């Protein structure tokens, strides 16, 4: 038995029944990481010593007859844009190569309070700007299903770690699909909650009106469990929502008979790979078999999603990343003439080409003479996009869509063409624009055996319905139980 490969809910039962100990599981997990990591490169920082100490402390509480928390003894990974006290947090950027935060992000606080074991920090696209984890300053993470393919991004390290079972589950962040797209590419479950459901305190900002902490896990039950842990109001985050938290686990085994799934007609367009289209069509058929109804709906402003997203996201990135000037913290260049030269050199050396591209675009759309033409208009169209979703969701319980037009692509296939890379997010960015919850569950494989997920989009604060629907699909299909053969599992 290799308990470190089990989902969190199953592992927790082993601890409670004394069939496994936390130190044994953590030791086994690090041995597995050392065996697997050379083929995957999911981690930027490992915390073996502190994890061992955590494991001993939690096991002591189990031995005393306590239940130390919902995640007690569960080995987890955290994306490297979530602050971790006294543990390096780089955003996969040269700019923050040696940054060590003095505090934990709210999401990290919550998992630690429930007894999770922090294994380490995972690789990502620099400052979460990317869809393939090719834009990390440090290294490229490889897809455990095929090392020649990308794991998706920007939470590619977290998704790859869960797929390779080098973490039981992981935290990521999602600004335009950065949890959901890698979940699809790596064959795991991923959730982006309603904007405001999880606290963003300690999440290093990319685009503040779009960013959300997200979860990656082996199955829907773990995703629901972690959503329960992470939900709740936080006064330290001014965008945190003071909304009732549902029991996301309560409806997992309920029937979906009588529910209606909306199929946005604009999402079934040219450019979708035939294998992706088949996975979604098969999922629609499976839901009908389970008793759910299917209804075509319309999102008429779909073609505006990408330009709106990249105007708003880049504008906010330009503002948020202005703080990295080489003065207070972060990289400071050497050999400068004066303050202006120091800032110029520090930012030029510290930021990679994709981050620089987005900063320049964002600065342009916010500049005098262009603000009204671009940024203001994008915000106005954002309102129209939100109204589209409100109207569509008034006719159904959730939407069922593809995650990406393609499955995991080869390294270098799209990185030379930014627009082609951006198009891989066409079905995910709209959800962030509208602030809605969305969940990705494994839904099939392409002809080469690469995973393909399906996306469920819910009503505001309707995560419980998404978990119910996703769990019914998961339990009636084999896809979530498949694991990569390319790594030593």
Q: Which residues are known catalytic residues? A: 79, 154, 178
Task: Give the count of alpha carbons within 13 A of 216, CB side only.
Answer: 41
Q: Angle at CA 76, nearest 5°, toward 155 and 32?
A: 95
Contact between 314 and 365 under an 8 Å Cβ cutoff? The reply is: yes
Spatial distance between the Cα atoms of 62 and 15, rounded to a whole number of angstroms: 8
Give the separation between CA 482 and CA 42, rounded to whole angstroms.
Answer: 20
SS3 readout for 47-110: CHHHHHHHHHHHHHHHHCCCCCCCCCCCEEEEECCECECCECCCCCCHHHCCCCCCCCCHHHHH
Q: How many residues does the chain have?
A: 489
User: How many Å apart are CA 430 and CA 460, to the nearest integer?
Assistant: 14
Query: DSSP per residue over 337-376, as a string?
Result: SSHHHHHHHHHHHHS-HHHHHHHHHHHHHHSTTTIIIIII
Q: How far apart, in whole angstroms, are the C-alpha atoms of residue 155 and residue 125?
A: 7
Measured CA to CA, the distance from residue 77 to residue 32 in angstroms comes to: 14
């Amino acid at each position: 038995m290799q308990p470190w490969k089990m989902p969190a809910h199953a592992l927790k039962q082993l601890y409670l029944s004394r069939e496994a100990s936390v130190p044994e599981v953590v030791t086994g997990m690090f041995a597995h990481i050392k065996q697997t990591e050379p083929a995957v490169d999911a981690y930027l920082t490992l915390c073996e010593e502190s994890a061992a100490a955590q494991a001993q402390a939690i096991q002591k509480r189990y031995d005393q007859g306590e239940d130390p928390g919902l995640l007690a003894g569960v080995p987890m990974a955290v994306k490297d844009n979530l602050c971790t006290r006294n543990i390096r947090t780089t955003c996969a950027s040269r700019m923050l190569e040696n940054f060590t935060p003095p505090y934990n992000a709210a999401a990290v606080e919550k998992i630690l309070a429930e007894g999770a074991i922090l294994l380490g920090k995972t690789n990502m696209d620099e400052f979460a700007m990317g869809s393939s984890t090719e834009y990390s300053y440090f290294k490229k993470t490889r897809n455990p299903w095929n090392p020649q393919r990308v794991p998706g991004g920007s939470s590619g390290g977290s998704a790859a770690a869960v797929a390779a079972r080098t973490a039981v589950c992981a935290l990521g962040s999602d600004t335009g699909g950065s949890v959901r797209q890698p979940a699809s590419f790596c064959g795991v479950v991923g959730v982006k909650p309603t904007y405001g459901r999880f606290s963003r305190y300690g999440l290093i900002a990319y685009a503040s009106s779009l960013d959300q902490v997200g979860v990656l896990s082996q199955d829907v039950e773990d995703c629901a469990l972690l959503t329960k842990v992470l939900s709740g109001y936080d006064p330290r985050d001014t965008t945190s929502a003071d909304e009732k938290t549902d029991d996301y686990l309560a409806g997992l085994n309920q029937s979906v008979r009588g529910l209606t799934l909306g199929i946005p007609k604009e999402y079934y367009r040219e450019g979708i790979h035939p294998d992706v289209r088949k996975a979604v069509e098969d999922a629609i058929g499976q839901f009908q078999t389970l008793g759910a109804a299917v209804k075509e709906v319309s999102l008429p402003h779909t073609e505006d999603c990408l330009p709106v997203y990249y105007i708003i996201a880049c504008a906010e990135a330009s503002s948020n990343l202005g703080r990295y000037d080489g003065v207070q913290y972060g990289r400071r260049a050497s050999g400068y003439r004066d303050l202006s030269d120091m800032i110029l050199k520090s930012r030029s050396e510290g930021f990679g080409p994709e981050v620089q591209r987005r900063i320049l675009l964002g600065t342009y759309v916010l500049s005098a003479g262009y603000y009204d033409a671009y940024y203001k208009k994008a915000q106005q169209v954002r309102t129209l996009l939100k109204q589209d979703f409100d109207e569509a969701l008034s006719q159904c319980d959730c939407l069922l869509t593809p995650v990406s037009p393609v499955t995991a692509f080869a390294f270098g296939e799209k990185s030379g063409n930014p627009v082609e890379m951006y198009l891989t997010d066409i079905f995910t960015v709209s959800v962030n624009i509208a602030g809605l919850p969305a969940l990705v569950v494994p839904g099939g494989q392409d002809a080469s055996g690469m995973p393909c997920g399906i996306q469920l989009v819910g009503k505001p604060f309707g995560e419980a319905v998404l978990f119910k629907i996703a769990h019914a699909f998961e339990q009636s299909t084999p896809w979530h139980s498949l694991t990569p053969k390319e790594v030593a599992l």
